[in-house]
Chain A
């Protein structure tokens, strides 16, 4: 029956949401977002179904014809809702990626990624989704550098720091950084005792790890 494919898609969306909330629960809020494979076959199937309903052209002036027309119309509406809901769910995950700062790693195909799970993510996105993620990330970067928000780190952690100074380990070479406490040469596998606010962005980019 019409609408069954849409149902499958929504069940998949539900499962994704459950996995997502479970993962976030375990990692306790730290953003580790992953997105499952885009279900191209099912989406194409639904669009084909929509075409089919449109071409069937059921209708007529009699009451029965009107009813058939209504049924077709409602099937179209239903398919539209299923598709929109699925894509909205995915775009929300992608927004999360952009805010968590992992979008860059995903888009580069995992080239510079520290987390191996990120490297598979690019293939899980459809082409439109890739360009969506790209543009959303660009937009976010623009907003962060806007004069109005110049003094605020919009992507900063929401949990207040417990210590001003923290121990960090360098995960990959990042060259030299300068802070008001001197210059650090970030060589892989070395450890430093630094001020948290100085290195926050480096931690987010995956160069450093907090110990």
Chain B
């Protein structure tokens, strides 16, 4: 999650819907019309790295900490955390295609919870992670010490193409962070099995 972390940079580029609270000239490029102004109350999809700051900083008279001002934009809840998705999460975490919802679901959720102190979302995501972690673990525990299965480390997609190692459909629904968890778990299982057999 560091400044240089490629995954984090990518997660920051996810676009979220925003509503402009005031008319702003010179930023028409945000809406794909360079040189134009963005009208008040217009809705735009802005990347998180832009929206996050604009939503907490407001125009002031140059003094004060900006708390009393209206922020430049208002963040609208993105589709990622729509009630539809949250219901699916509560219904069956394992069956949910998380990758389709957002490849950076957890990273987004963490940012969102931080922004809005949304405790309920935090708890839902924690339960989601708990349920899915068990599934990830049982997938990762499937180790055979054959050279070709090492291809699995490249990710579930590669193993599907090779067709060597039977991967469950669940592996295709993992988000990017879950993939790294899977990869590390798989490597740990492989290493311990190797050690036991030696």
Smallest beta-carbon distance A78→chain B, Å: 5
Nearest residue in B to A3 (C-beta to C-beta)? B47
Tell whether A25 pairs with B29 under 8 Å between CB atoms, given A85-B9, A88-B4. no
Interface size on A, residues (CB 8 A): 36
**A10, B59: Cβ atoms closer than 8 Å:** no
Instruction: Indicate whether A170 reaches chain B with its CB closer than 8 angstroms.
Output: no
Determine the interface band of chain B, counting residues with CB < 8 A from chain A.
Answer: 35 or more
**A74, B29: Cβ atoms closer than 8 Å:** no
Instruction: Indicate whether B143 reaches chain A with its CB closer than 8 angstroms.
Output: no
One of A58-66, A111-119, A138-146, A175-183 contacting the partner: A58-66
- Given B9, B29, B153, B154, which contacts A82 in the complex, CB threshold below 8 Å? B9
CA distance A2 to B103 in the complex (A): 23
Tell whether A66 pairs with B59 under 8 Å between CB atoms, given A22-B158, A71-B30. yes
Smallest beta-carbon distance A97→chain B, Å: 19
**B10, A11: Cβ atoms closer than 8 Å:** yes
Which residues from 61 to 120 on chain A have a C-beta closer than 8 Å to any C-beta of chain B?
62-68, 70-71, 74-75, 77-78, 81-82, 84-85, 88-89
Given contacts A17-B6, A22-B154, A25-B150, 12 further A-B contacts (CB under 8 A): A1-B29, A2-B29, A7-B13, A11-B10, A21-B154, A25-B187, A26-B151, A63-B59, A66-B59, A67-B27, A68-B27, A75-B50
Q: Please report B residues at the A interface, Cβ cutoff 8 Å.
A: 3-7, 9-10, 12-13, 22-27, 29-30, 32, 37, 47, 49-50, 53-54, 57, 59, 72, 150-151, 153-155, 158, 183, 187
A-B complex: 9 closest residue pairs judged by Cβ atoms: A63-B59, A25-B153, A22-B154, A58-B26, A88-B4, A68-B26, A67-B72, A64-B24, A67-B24
